Amino acid sequence: MAFQVFVSYASLDDVAPPSGGDGFVTTLVRYLKFDLDQRKPTPQIWRDRDGKIKPSDQFDEVIDDGIAASELMLVVLSDNWMASDYCRKELNLFAQKSNGSSAKRRIIVAAKHDMKPENRPVLLQGQTAYRFYDEHDPDKPEFFLHKKLDTIDLLIQKIANDIRDRMTSEDPTRHREGPTPQRTRGRRIYLAKPGSDMSTHYRRLAEELEGREYVVVPDKDSTIPLDSMAAAVEYIDGALDGAEFAVHVLGEKPGMAPEEQGATPIVRLQLERARLRGVRRIIWAPRKIGDRPERDETAVLASFDSAVDGDKIVGTEVSEFSDFLVQHLGQHLTRPDGGGIEAIETDSCVYVYYQAKDEDYGLEVAAALQARNIQATTPIFNGLDIDPEWHKQQIQVCDAIVVCWANAGEIWISQQPPEFRDWTKLNRKKAFSCRGIIVGPPGDVKQSFMKKAGKNLPPTNQVDIVLDLSAYPNPTPELLDPLVKKTVGA
């Protein structure tokens, strides 16, 4: 069976303009089919020609067959699409047939006009959209109406390439047989694209990480789009999304810059985006490069971007840095089996558990999870003591549990994990989807304790993940993403 792409759109988005010609969706599909037909294999594009269901037809009979046979969904996102019950149902049906958790990886978004991510359906909130509008003037009509043909061609090529990439990387029948298996057991690490003088070292590090089953993003063979700053930022942010760390290789060259006046070179831009998004940075700025004078690694970083608390800056030679990197990643955010973290699904309930003296930090964690559409419950205190009945109830009904450790003592955190070791003894109906510990500030008190305890804290049969945020003053939603998203394909 041919690889098929289902186009979900609202009929009002395909109305022909008064000046003549085809509507937006018809034009988009025609351009896309032309590009896809230039190379083999060629996917099929499925769309309802009327953009709506005829009164004589039952929705499921007409649309469900198209959805069931499709490996990808292309959503033409607009206010009209958001207002359409049929479009929402198409999305939900596609998610159901894709087993929910894999649906996001099978959706491509073409945005007809500007729309804030938080206003989209949850399944579309993590998608990087292809923008068919002028982001500098979002009120202008879409590009098809004011004839920006160069921009249209570039966007269509990107969508076509995206579809081809997914055709070759996905088994078209996998989702019909059961949930999509993870392609690797590794964790997601952002390895920043370097300047040309460090490309050899970059590939060595990428191959080292991939050899240890880490997922390196962006793909080491890909390039950052340089047609505009907006395109470069969107690409970088999309790859940073869900990454545990951002690793930056700093030579002397700043890398290429997007094709507009005053654009930031990519080496500096990636450092900046990781800093702004709260992704922990590991910076390698080797003190010796060939026959050049020795450098100071801290000064090298300062020449590219400002340092922040939590940065790890290393100036050793490449072999020592590679060893440091693997060791550092192994000491932070580990899982007992070495595999990818189970996703805390949207609308799941997470019990954010903490001691009374950590209530402020725990409430911040709960708020950050809620910003990711996760329902978070917190303890009820009678003075300094947690209400035992409420505590017991949350352990029984919540999908996951996250223990916050900030100001509480070492004895307290050591005593917590055993309570959650055996879910069958807690009057639960199923296992926890995730048992996590978030280590908050202050960090200086904890580091020696954690270093001494190593991987024995907590025992691997009692907790799934330790998220060390002790270097960060606040637990932002981005910092908590490793708890919420799978580290592979999220």
pLDDT per position as a tens digit, 188-219: 899 999 999 999 999 999 988 887 778 899 99
* Cα gap 333→465, rounded to integer Å: 6
* Cα gap 412→430, rounded to integer Å: 26
* Other Cβ atoms closer than 10 A to 286: 21
Tell me what pLDDT residue 127 has: 65
* Cα gap 90→119, rounded to integer Å: 18
pLDDT per position as a tens digit, 280-306: 999 999 999 888 899 999 999 999 999
State how far Cα 353 lies from the chain centre: 25
* Cα gap 437→361, rounded to integer Å: 13
Q: Angle at the Cα of 15 (from 10 to 18), degrees rounded to 5?
A: 155
**CA-based torsion, 129, 131, 136, 140: positive or negative:** negative
Q: Considering the entire predicted model, what is its pTM?
A: 0.39
pLDDT per position as a tens digit, 10-38: 999 888 888 777 888 988 898 899 888 88
Exposure class string for 386-412: b at 16+ Cβ within 10 A, else e: beeeebeebbeebbbbbbbbbbbeeee
* pLDDT surpassing 90 at residue 319: no
Structural domains for the chain: 4-177 (3.40.50.10140), 188-331 (3.40.50.450), 349-484 (3.40.50)
Tell me what the pLDDT averaged over the chain comes to: 79
Bond prior to 458 in cis (omega within 30° of 0) = yes
> Angle between the 24-36 and 149-169 helix axes, to the nearest 10 degrees?
60
Tell me what pLDDT residue 267 has: 96
Tell me what pLDDT residue 257 has: 94
- Which residues are CB-contacts of 62 (< 8 A; sequence separation ≥ 6)? 48, 53, 54
β strands within 278-418, DSSP E: 280-284, 312-314, 349-353, 375-377, 381-382, 385-386, 400-405
Say which amino acid occupies 391: H
User: Which is it for strands 375-377 and 381-382: parallel, antiparallel or unpaired?
Assistant: unpaired
Tell me what pLDDT residue 228 has: 92
